Amino acid sequence: MSRIPDHILVIRLSALGDVAMLVPVIRQLTKNFPHLKITVLTRPFFSPLFNEFENVNVMAADVESVHKGLSGLWKLSREIKTQKLDAVADCHEVLRSRILKLFSGIKPWIYIDKGRNEKKLLISGKKFEPLKTTHQRYVEVFEKLGFNIDLSDPMFPPKPDLPKAHKSLETSKPLIGIAPFAAFPTKAYPLGLMKEVIEGLKGLGTVILFGGGSEEIRQMKELSALFDHVNSIAGSVSFADELKIIRNLDLMLSMDSGNAHLAAAYGVETITLWGVTHPFAGFAPFNQEPENALLADRIAFPEIPTSIYGNKAPAGYEVAIASITPREIIDKIKEKLIQA
């Protein structure tokens, strides 16, 4: 581009983890270009993720109601036009955003390269090697607009105060977050084994359980009742307060899920458990050592990764994640807490 834009629209409507992965990229972007005005188009629920940035505004895309369907997208495109944008960084590249481009007529409109062909080769087993990270794919979108971003030396905001209702979590012992669930069963560690992990963390610190969904909330409430060192905040805090608690963690244990990306976006040591998915697909949490990813046994389950998102797996692969032993997880947590 001949001129660097003054005001850009950044599009990422979903999902939680993908939106969270934008945060460290935008953080570096705002550092390098402090006078750049940024408007992020995303779902209303995700707005607190961008509260830390003074020059970032969130434009809510309510695609379930007022912005639903073609008429809703037309309305949204008219709202976008009022922003007087110089360019669009489309970090989602879905049908909705393509329709918005058509309706708005804004140029330049740069799409993310999702690497679909490379991911197909990875899943097929024809080419088992690390792909570009999603963070790097986001960076490349901004680079095409003239913004150079280097993520090799990231910065993170200071820890905020804990929400008033959770001041009791302030102790001298480490705060260990655990997000035991995932979007698909193939990515979730069996609850019985997770109980063994939690049992093994006694005396190491306070465990805080994260998650959502009525069934998950019920199970985490029951789980927390079994242990004196465990608290469940699932379903009891706003998303903004949940982020404050996550930012105060010393360590997060998560599946291949959004909570891993939330923690990593704020510089929290993040250990992830991988079942039928694999970090080679580019969805490893930000700025984490490769050793923080504990993987299912690919000798016993050689078709891993069976899919990018964990929604597809051959018969018998639903137990792949259980090949990661509780002892492996406990030892890794202890190792990281000692290093901290």
Residues of CATH 3.40.50.2000 domain(s) within the chain? 7-144, 170-339
Q: What is the mean pLDDT of residues 89-114?
A: 98
Model confidence, pTM = 0.97
Q: Is the pLDDT of residue 24 over 60?
A: yes
Bridge partner list, 113: none
Q: Is the dihedral of CA 298, 291, 310, 330 positive or negative?
A: positive
| 175-179, strands of its sheet edge to edge | 230-232, 206-209, 175-179, 251-255, 269-274, 293-295
Q: What is the pLDDT of residue 1?
A: 54
Q: Is the pLDDT of residue 18 over 80?
A: yes
Q: Is the pLDDT of residue 275 over 90?
A: yes
Q: What is the pLDDT of residue 212?
A: 87
Q: Which of 33, 16, 52 is nearest to 285 (CA)?
A: 16
Q: Measure the CA–CA gap between 46 and 201, rounded to whole angstroms.
A: 31
- For 184-211, the pLDDT digits (tens) are 999 999 999 999 999 999 999 999 999 9
- For 152-162, the pLDDT digits (tens) are 999 999 999 99
Q: What is the pLDDT of residue 2?
A: 64
Burial grade of 217 (CB within 10 A; 0-12, 13-18, 19 or more): middle
Q: Is the pLDDT of residue 93 over 80?
A: yes
Q: Is the pLDDT of residue 171 over 90?
A: no
pLDDT band per the 50, 70, 90 thresholds, residue 6: very high
Q: Is the pLDDT of residue 287 over 60?
A: yes
Number of other CB atoms surrounding residue 99 within 10 Å: 15
pLDDT band per the 50, 70, 90 thresholds, residue 310: very high
Q: Are 283 and 256 in contact (CB under 8 A)?
A: yes
| Fold for the domain defined by 7-144 | Rossmann fold (3.40.50)
Q: What is the mean pLDDT of residues 118-140?
A: 98
Q: What is the CATH number of domain 170-339?
A: 3.40.50.2000
Q: What is the pLDDT of residue 250?
A: 98
How many percent of the chain have pLDDT more than 70?
99
